[in-house]
Amino acid sequence: MRQLTRYSEAFKRQVIKEYLTTDLTSEEICKKYNIGYLNNIYRWRKKYESEFDVWDMDYKAKFTVMSKEQKKSAKELQHENELLKKALKDAELKNYGFKRLIENWEKELGRKLPKK
């Protein structure tokens, strides 16, 4: 049976501040600080999260709290966005090339080609 550990209020606040302002999961925080029960993090967050706004009023403006899954998703979306931008550039370049090709054919033929 585990021995119950008493944590100071300052320690609890420090842990919750780190939890809210970093990308560490609650499991990683427990391992880092050797906190026996994951439930402690959830209870402390419930208790101290509202106080946290009072300590540092603009922390939300400084930090965006995202889970690892959200960060991964954001990276994937950023990568997809880059790929789509490249594909758009390629399509625009092809379009430009086709327009020039049509203009050259029209010059050689001496008439406009019918558009469909």
pLDDT at 104: 94
CB 99 within 8 A of CB 55: no
pTM: 0.44
Q: Which residue has the higher pLDDT, 69 or 9?
A: 9
- 72-113 residue pLDDT tens: 787 888 999 999 999 999 999 999 999 999 999 999 999 988
Encoded tokens for 55: 């300590």
Q: What's 3's DSSP letter?
A: P
At residue 46, does pLDDT exceed 90?
A: no
Q: Which residue has the higher pLDDT, 52 or 19?
A: 19
The predicted model gives 9-35 an average pLDDT of 88
Torsion of CA 88, 91, 97, 103, to 10 degrees: -100
pLDDT, the chain, mean: 82
